[in-house]
A and B are shown apart, each in its own frame.
Chain A
Amino acid sequence: MITGNMASHAPILAARSLHKTYRLGKVGVPVLRGVDLDVAPGEWLAILGASGSGKSTLLHLLGGLDRPDTPAGALRVCRRCGAPRRGLADPNSLCSQCGAPVEPIRAPEIVYEGRDLFAMSGVELNHYRARHVGFVFQFYHLLPELNIVENVTIGAMVLHGRVGYLRHGRQARQRAEHLLQAFGLSHRLRHRPRELSGGERQRVAIARALINEPHILLADEPTGNLDRVTGHAILDAIEHLQREQGLTMVMVTHDPGIAERAQRTVRLVDGRVAAHVENSAMS
């Protein structure tokens, strides 16, 4: 489903038929039950959902950190009665409970700029994560042994490798310092994460996500661990970046108040997309 905002653009990221089931011992718990999603270039998309609705899983899949179920392994659920059914995609299969046709599962795909992530090699997928997307997590996930400049530049180290970093290292350090300065952290450059407040840590995490100038920022509850004022300050910073740099952002949140700051909101319910809402329509 493409909204009016995206009509004029081909999606930068398109997800099709994403299924994901987690195993809890012998029990399979379906988290995503066939998610289709398009993200337009420069768009700020919020994925709204209750806890356990699969929004973080979806974000991990979009970032190439995780892989969706294959059609053979996916747990399919009858749309009419909800009865689970496992097996190969068969267009003619019927639900054993209610007899309704069971929607066949097509092969999952996440297409980034025309390339399917799951057709990429491991090296290409690593490069995709390092170069094209930036992750921001609810709990910041900074490396405690490194100071904040190092925490930011480590993304560049991962991208360029030893030899490449010799060439790009100076530039990366300058960009890190510039980003940290832009986030008001120029006086904290040599501090360790434990010496920073939650808001400061999250700003460091955003700077780290942006160090390699990614096209997409994937933020998982970026304000979930912050108080309201700090959270909105972080959102202001993100919004500023998005507008200034035309960054594409996919933000996961359970808070409708935060989601409405995005241009578009996708609501996830029980692992499915329940609604696409333009920001102006959401209230």
Chain B
Amino acid sequence: MYQSLLNRRYLTSKIMPLLSLVAVMLSTGTILVTWSVMGGFLKTLMESGRTLIGDVAITWPNVGFAHYEDLIARLEREPEVSAAAPIIETFGMIRLPDDQLQAVSIRGVDGVSFDRVTGYASTLFWRPLEKPTPKDRARVDLRLPEHTDPSFLGQVLENGLALSRDDGMGPEPAVVPGIELTGLNQRQSWGGYTPMTAMRPTASGQIDVKNIFMPRNGTLTITLLAIDSNGRFADAVTRRFPVANEFQSGIYDADSQIVLARLDALQTMLNMDEAQKTEPGSPFETVIDPDTGEELPAPPRVIGVDPARVTSVLVRAKTGIDSWTLRSVCSRVYGQFASAHRDDVPSEYSIDIRTWQEKNATLISAVEKETGLVLFIFGIVCFTNVFLVLSIFWSMVSEKTKDVGILRALGAGQLGIAWLWLRYGLLIGVVGAVLGVAMAYVIVRNINPIHDWIGQTTGIVIWDPTVYYFIEVPNQMNWTHAVLVFAAGVLTCLIGAAIPAMRAARMDPVKALRFE
């Protein structure tokens, strides 16, 4: 009882406890702000890592596997599965408009089903905007109605979804490269992109200004090495594709190295489309040409159909189903599928079924290392806090030595005296950590205005949208982190107060009473 009275009075009448309280508040607040922003950044990065992959991928690389429509139908009957989509993953070369050659990863997708699995539509960058992005205060984004006709951009968006473009001769298969791939889009300080403008002098002495907007009239030439169903390389195939749109997934590597093409076009190029299965006729068998009457060697005999193939089927889980559960479902379904198409598809033991976390293991490992680093720094700050509280409490216990003697004379026991100081540490920890969490919440929620204000007044832009891949600083606070930081703040105060509390408890009351 006397402990709570004295704690209240010590807290309100002394400057030193307020200093330790401020120290706890600042340390917990700073850690939480850092953790929230870093955590938000990492979470966004991780979520972006899921884009273009879905939750689980069933893959048989290079050669691919047939009857994928049946596999997709079987998967979509499962209650855990939201959608499934076929894709082809391969590598190739593209020739850019400036004649540069670049090695890229090429994915053949069906726009509609791919969108259902990966949310592809939301990654298409060129689309009509009604209002500017948060940092585009000057409304310079070309996607705004005052700069570009919304119906044109609407058409570009549709083209992107269908992966086709109509240049007046009917729709033809098109490609959607990542926004950074061509190098023709310039990232702006407001976080968006502006197509580059090419200026070249003409023979008449004028300057010809050309806006290089790929989805309007740009084309990319893709060269692939086709592989037959037996895994043998066939000839290199080159084809020119119009650009339908450009995507921004949120991962620089993806946006600078992936080109999406229409699945059927890619199947044709890679000889993965449906074809007749033939076998050579007997060398002694001949047929008579009805036109010329000439005797010719018999043509190969059609013995069946070689079905179309894809290298992967991407699967999306229903809400609430984690990717690991989904992987089990996919394994089971694939086992049934493989049994139904024995000898036509890879066995369930050799097929590669991986979650998006497994496919992004490198990225996630980096993310985890960064999180570990943050936690390490967090630990050091907490440790510093222990010594800070310890030194302040040590000094306060020295100052209050006589009080300890008085309380002992009044009958207070050693445990009671220890609890007086521990409780005081607990109080400072709780009040300081609550204020720290509150401070962090206010800062995190308003971090973008604060960041903008710092940029405007000092010119220092920490989160530069031309460097970072996110327009806005993450401003969500993770309450689990908040609880952990709060507990750590309180715990550090308790640990810091423990040694001074023990010292106070073990004081000789007679010496304490004589203390000057």
Contacts and interface: CB of A to CB of B under 8 A. Distances in A.
A158 B410 contact: yes
B1 A162 contact: yes
How would you classify the secondary structure of chain A's contact residues: helix, strand, loop or mixed?
Answer: helix
A266 to B, nearest CB: 20
Contacts of B9: 145-146
A126 interface: yes
A273 to B, nearest CB: 21
Given A65-B509, A66-B509, A145-B13, A122 B405 contact: no
A45 to B, nearest CB: 19
B10 A129 contact: no
B510 interface: yes
Contact of B412 (A145, A158, A160): A158
Contact of A60 (B13, B410, B416, B510): B510
Interface stretch (A1-9, A84-92, A130-138, A241-249): A130-138
B1 A165 contact: yes
A222 interface: no
Contact of B411 (A130, A137, A150): A130
A78 interface: no
Contacts of A137: 409, 513
Contacts of A60: 510
Nearest to A208: B410
A160 B1 contact: yes
A141 interface: yes
Given A141-B402, A161-B1, A122 B6 contact: no
B328 to A, nearest CB: 55
Contact of B409 (A122, A141, A146): A141
B413 A122 contact: yes
* Most B C-beta atoms less than 10 A away, residue of A65, A137, A159, A161: A65
A216 B231 CA distance: 104
A142 B402 CA distance: 9
B409 A65 contact: yes
A31 to B, nearest CB: 11
B62 interface: no
A37 interface: no
A123 interface: yes
In the A-B complex, list the 9 residue pairs whose CB atoms are closest, starting with the nearest: A130-B411, A145-B9, A157-B2, A129-B411, A157-B1, A126-B413, A165-B1, A162-B1, A135-B409
B410 A130 contact: yes
A63 interface: yes
A127 B411 contact: yes
A155 interface: yes
Contacts of B406: 141-143
B209 to A, nearest CB: 78
Interface string B394-434: 00000000110111111111101000000000000000000
A129 B510 contact: no
B5 interface: yes
Contacts of A123: 413
B402 A65 contact: no
Contact of A126 (B10, B402, B411, B513): B411
Given A66-B510, A158-B411, A143 B1 contact: no
17 contacts: A65-B408, A65-B509, A65-B510, A126-B411, A126-B412, A127-B411, A128-B411, A130-B411, A135-B410, A141-B409, A145-B6, A145-B13, A146-B9, A155-B411, A157-B2, A162-B1, A169-B1
B444 to A, nearest CB: 37
A57 B513 CA distance: 12
Contacts of A208: 410
Contact of B513 (A122, A129, A141, A146): A141
Given A137-B513, A145-B13, 13 more contacts: A65-B408, A123-B413, A126-B413, A129-B409, A129-B410, A129-B411, A145-B9, A154-B5, A154-B410, A158-B2, A161-B1, A169-B1, A208-B410
A103 B411 CA distance: 35
Interface string B250-262: 0000000000000
Interface in A138-183: 141-143, 145-146, 150, 154-155, 157-162, 165, 169
A150 B406 CA distance: 14
Contacts of A143: 6, 403, 406
Interface in B9-25: 9-10, 13
A142 B106 CA distance: 83
Contacts of A145: 6, 9-10, 13
Interface in A22-64: 57, 60, 63
Contacts of A142: 406
